[in-house]
Amino acid sequence: MIKEILLCKYGEIVLKGANRKYFEDMLCKEMKKRARGYGNFDIYRAQSTIYIDPKDEDADLDGMFEAASKVFGIVAIARAAVCEKDMAAITETVKSYIPQFMDGKRTFKVEAKRSDKTFALDSMEISREIGGVVLESCPRLRVDVHKPDITVKVEIREFGAYVSAGQFKGAGGMPVGTNGKGLLLLSGGIDSPVAGYMMAKRGVRLDAIHFESFPYTSERAREKVLELASIVAEYSGDIFVHVVSLTHIQEELVKACEEDYFTLLLRRYMMTIAERVAREKECLALITGESLGQVASQTMQALGVTDNAVNMPVFRPCIGMDKEEIVSIARKIGTFETSIQPYEDCCTVFTPKHPKTKPELEKVKAQEDKLDFDALVEEAMGTLYTVHIKAEY
């Protein structure tokens, strides 16, 4: 009976020098956490690869493959058959294991890697022999070393020989938690979940803050945001979503301030409150889904006005992307269909007809001074409650 495991290759972690062990440990820890729901696995690392080895027949290798594909830090995943480091054993494994992957394929090539230099044949010799075995087992195929439909790999490693056909792209990036924690301003739109995903991909653990404006925004709008957080959590791990009401602030803005400034003033309140929450939750930066010039509040001048309200870094991973690029990522990670559900968010309430696109900071502050800014922030902080979104692996 063929024994099958997963080989998960990691990428830029290998460049980390003296800190490499820390990143590898974090990656293994994340993989072990995600494996809990799929059975009993032995998970270990060697030679820039994480091995996921099922320990009994009940282990769900298919489920574990899907879970591993969403672990940041992994660049490629392959299902592989394990056998002894012996050409006869490798040949028999290729004959029995590889044909199942060849349906619909017309061309192939063989790549061999001999990490164990004591093995009798070198990589070229292994490739030639195994190429002949594949052609014998699948005579309709032909060899194409430049653009094959599929690549058969034979790896001679420390613990044994591994035979695979085709590998799948992993999530890439850095292990979550290796680059601190950030607070994501999570709306119900397309952009902010993508921004959270992109920062998690760079190793940032996420908390989120969501601003609601009940009764102007509905309970269903809040549920939509929590659903988006749940989808992002499949990649980032658990997310604590901190919900804050902006209703009174918005009502006071409408009473006291010029309409053209509503959006800018609201954004300054949001950023200030977000910074308060971020510091309380030990987050090192704010994260937003803003894209330069996409709407009036995202011009360079407007972003400068909102950034002036805080004293911590604001990361905007979507800043140079157009909508099509952002939508493409949203579709890939599974947030798009939820994001386009027609439920309002706080930023669509009391929207001015002609918002300022080139605001002057002093004029914005003059409008802001018409209200007791600090008191309204404090009142809003009193409405905060937190929802723990547990990652479903």
- In which residue ranges of the chain is CATH 3.40.50.620 found? 181-389
Question: What's the CATH superfamily of 181-389?
Answer: HUPs (3.40.50.620)
Q: Give yes or no for residue 261 having a pLDDT over 60.
A: yes
Q: Is the pTM of this model over 0.95?
A: no
Residue 348 has a pLDDT of 61
Confidence class for position 57, pLDDT limits 50, 70, 90: confident
CATH classification (class only), 3-169: alpha beta
Computed over every residue of the chain, the mean pLDDT equals 92
> Which tens digits make up the pLDDT trace of 328-371?
999 999 999 999 987 666 566 667 676 778 888 999 999 999 99
Measure the CA angle with vertex 148, ends 143 and 149; round to 5°.
Answer: 115
Domain with CATH 3.30.2130.30 in the chain: 3-169
The answer to whether residues 169 and 144 touch, using CB atoms and an 8 Å cutoff, is no
- The rounded distance, in Å, linking the Cα atoms of 5 and 44 is 12
Cα gap 50→265, rounded to integer Å: 49
134: how many CB neighbours lie within 10 A of its CB? 22
**Is the predicted pLDDT of residue 377 greater than 70, yes or no?**
yes
pLDDT digits (tens, 9 = 90+) for 185-242: 999 899 999 999 999 999 999 999 999 988 887 888 899 999 999 999 999 999 999 9
* For range 286-295, the mean pLDDT: 92
Task: Specify the range with the lowest mean pLDDT, choosing from 259-268, 319-328, 355-364.
Answer: 355-364
Burial degree of 28 (CB within 10 A; 0-12, 13-18, 19+): middle
Rounded Cα–Cα distance for residues 234 and 176 (Å):
12
Report yes or no: 71 and 50 within 8 Å, Cβ to Cβ. no
